[in-house]
Amino acid sequence: MEINEKNLEEIIAGGKPVVVDFWATWCGPCKRLGPVIEELAAEYDGKVIIGKCDIEENPELTEKFGIMSVPTVVFIKNGQVCDSQVGVAGKPVYEQKINAML
């Protein structure tokens, strides 16, 4: 799912935990992380909203969340950031952070 400046507030208002992968097209590590994010989105479908946000197309969100490097994955529960992961980590790291929100 693409997350952007137009839909993020509505997604958060839905009440489910949200995971946002902040990435850029020119970022090699972001490309490596992409398939992991897609797998997680499929595995947690219906429980957690998982999507990607292109930092170059969404500068306001990038600034709002204080994204200084990509990839950065932000975990949002009850409308508040509860965790984040900067750089690429193994899939179990993301699973642990997601499960902590459930």
Is 82 annotated in the active site?
no
Give the Cα separation of 91 and 86 in Å (integer).
13
The catalytically annotated residue of 30, 50, 53, 55 is 30
Is 53 annotated in the active site?
no
The catalytically annotated residue of 1, 4, 11, 27 is 27
Residues annotated as catalytic (active site), given as ranges:
27, 30
